[in-house]
A and B are shown apart, each in its own frame.
Chain A
Amino acid sequence: MTTPVVQISHLSFGPVNKPILDNISLELEAGHFLGIVGPNGAGKSTLLNIIAGLTAPHSGHIDLFGRCLTRFSRHKLLRQIGFLHQLHDHAPRLPMRIRDVVAMGLADYATPWRRVVHSDAIREALKRVDMDHLANADFRQLSGGQRQRARLARALVRKPRLLLLDEPSAALDSVRQEKLFQLLRKLCDDTGMSVIMVEHDIAAISSHVDSVACLNRKIHHHAMKGEDIPNNVWRAMYGDHIHIMAHDARCIGCSPDEHNLPQDRQHG
């Protein structure tokens, strides 16, 4: 059996009596596309930051690519990870061309003694997000969606083995959103890259991902493709006032079986 890309065991974060993340265990194989859904404040971004090595968990263990993530291994392990976070500068000030922004994602960008020109890799990453015609444009002049795609290219340019995305579709229109998910699916299938993506809209992602983890402090359910998410999981995550609609047979967690529909519909 191959070593999993990510292996999290019994991870907790936050005060013991009111944890933000509680006893999370998760395993991810190469080429797997995992969606994490959950309400606001569920700890989704915190979990992603912990996997990205930005925050240290209070207890538990993380292995990345079969090696333990510590303060000392962090530097090496993170070179194989692409990360797209949510806290963006909405008025970028630095004068930069798009291709310079993408170049920043290269693993050896900041080491002058190892500087190689990677213009092919940059062009390829920009092509993947349909931005190659804008390679020389000023980053400050772009729209929010275009900037988001440039940032995605920056995360992809180092050809990561693991890609972490925190609500990547927030600035994108629905066509771009669909294209993004298709691109991620294709990268997982073709290159064996694994993806962990936080999204709030399960309907939009469920036909693309391999599995969905429902997170609210704990992982309430981890549904593989074609599997249903029981109603009590939805209620545990979002409370009793949700209204569950089944709309697509391909969609994870919302198959239109009769037994899966809520008996007592209430509106919040």
Chain B
Amino acid sequence: MDDLILEFLASPVMREALPPALLIAIVTASMSVMVMAHRLSFLTVGVSHASLAGLGLAVTLSLPLLPTATVFAVLIALLLALIPRKKGISEDAGTGILFAGSMALGVLLISTANSAEVDLFGLLFGNILTISPVDLKWLYFMSGLIPVLFFLAARAWWSIAFDAVTADASGLPVSSLRLLLYGLVGLTVILCVKLAGIVLTAGLMILPAACAWFWGRSLFSLWLLSVLFSLLGTITGLIWSYIYEWPSGATVVLALCALFVISWSLNWGKSWATVYKG
């Protein structure tokens, strides 16, 4: 096993993939705390699928892939934040509508494009191993920007998630902060799409915080645990994917799922033990 890990670290492909993957892990884990707190899981699913339309658009108009997809995803996320909830269209219905609509648009656009240009499998399931230098720059820029904004707004988002009315009454600009949150979730989703692909992105955006939720007691501990779970899952996943030659994105998500199941059972065992003893 040790040999394999050394071999993994020595492999040039993995050595190149590891830093961006770990960076993505930290950024997504931070945002996943807010995704859990604000119940935005379905939004991440919706936005990641909607990014297919962005990618389709980029392929058709021969625009740069990642920036176009980013702009598109952020727009979709902001649109969802503005959906008229008071008119009776709930957020999940709105997400469902945009999700299906833009996915359909994406499929149409990509099917008419020259199929040789598009690595559809890579888009759908992610491939961190084939990240280009341009993408890498883009990725570093975003993973610098998102944590800074996260640090500035985290407590405000947290108190909105806890009690939006009181947050509003204490003078916080709740609607602007919510727009910022949705926009940043959109940005983060695009980062994940590179690693885990459209279909698996939700895994990276939900699972780290979901694991942390069993153990954390405050915003800070949740964030720290979420980052640790995410890093552990990503490293384990990449090692497995190297050893067994599995697709990297799927393996990372599976590793995170395993961490979730372990957390859950340990927590269940703990509460069962307390009841039994007490």
Enumerate chain A interface residues (CB-CB to B < 8 A).
52-54, 74-79, 81, 83-85, 87-89, 92-97, 100-101, 104-105, 107, 109-110, 112, 138, 151, 154-155, 158, 164
Contact B218 A97 (CB under 8 A): yes
Q: Which chain B positions have C-beta within 8 A of A110?
A: 153, 155-156, 159, 172
Q: Decide yes or no whether B152 CB sits under 8 A from chain A.
A: yes
> Which bucket holds chain B's interface residue count?
20 to 34
Q: Which chain B positions have C-beta within 8 A of A107?
A: 170-171
- A-B pairs with beta carbons under 8 Å apart, 14 shown: A54-B169, A75-B171, A79-B171, A85-B169, A89-B163, A94-B158, A95-B213, A96-B219, A100-B218, A104-B166, A105-B170, A109-B155, A138-B217, A164-B169
Contact B155 A154 (CB under 8 A): no
Per-position contact with A for B9-44: 1 when CB-CB < 8 Å, else 0?
000000000000000000000000000010000000
Chain B residue with Cβ nearest A79: B171
A101 to B162, CA, bound (A): 9
Enumerate chain B interface residues (CB-CB to A < 8 A).
37, 151-156, 158-159, 161-163, 165-166, 168-173, 213, 216-219, 222
Q: A87-B165, A112-B151 are in contact. Are A78 and B217 (CB under 8 A)?
A: no
Q: Which of A52, A109, A151, A164 contacts B159 (CB 8 A)?
A: A109
A110 to B154, CA, bound (A): 8
Chain A residue with Cβ nearest B172: A110
Question: Whole-angstrom distance from the CB of B264 to the nearest CB of chain A?
Answer: 15
Q: Which chain A positions have C-beta within 8 A of B169?
A: 52-54, 78, 81, 83, 85, 164
Question: Whole-angstrom distance from the CB of B211 to the nearest CB of chain A?
Answer: 13
Contact A92 B171 (CB under 8 A): no
Q: List 4 tightest A-B contacts by C-beta distance, closest first.
A: A78-B171, A110-B156, A83-B169, A75-B171
